[in-house]
Amino acid sequence: MDNGANFQLVRLLQEFTQASDRFVDTTSGDNAMHRSDLNALSVIMRHEQAGRPPTTSMLGRELHLSPPATSALVNRLERSGHVVRHRSEDDRRVVRVAVTDHAMAEGRRMFGPLARALGQTIAGYTAADIALVSRFMADASRAVDEATKKLDM
């Protein structure tokens, strides 16, 4: 194992994270949204794509927010027209949060430039390269989550 190459890879991941943070900070500021708003919308969309919009408590757990902070966040997103709350068909006591068409349109407008730039970058790689990088990124995300859990203990 080449420790120099490993160090360089970790450093590149840090640089990518910082560049991503700069993009999110810029676009969220330009659109009067908080980073937590964008993170919440991302979590909600991921759950919706899996076929099960999250409850507010699920959202709070994933974002590491207290129940009052989660409620304030969802209230803010609801007032801005980015999310709606709806009762579950299965259990009327359960309230789920879903993104609106307005939020999807705003997301495309805000993140379209990033999606296009990343798409152009990805186009320069083979399917095998993309599969390898995808596997690495999934593993790296799990490693960060595992390290975070150890901090929470």
Note the pLDDT of residue 93: 85
What pLDDT sits at residue 1?
A: 65
- What are the beta bridge partners of residue 86? 96
Q: Which pLDDT belongs to residue 65?
A: 94
pLDDT of residue 73: 95
Provide block-wise average pLDDT over 10 residues at a time, the chain (153 residues). Answer: 88 95 88 89 94 93 94 95 90 90 93 95 97 96 91 76
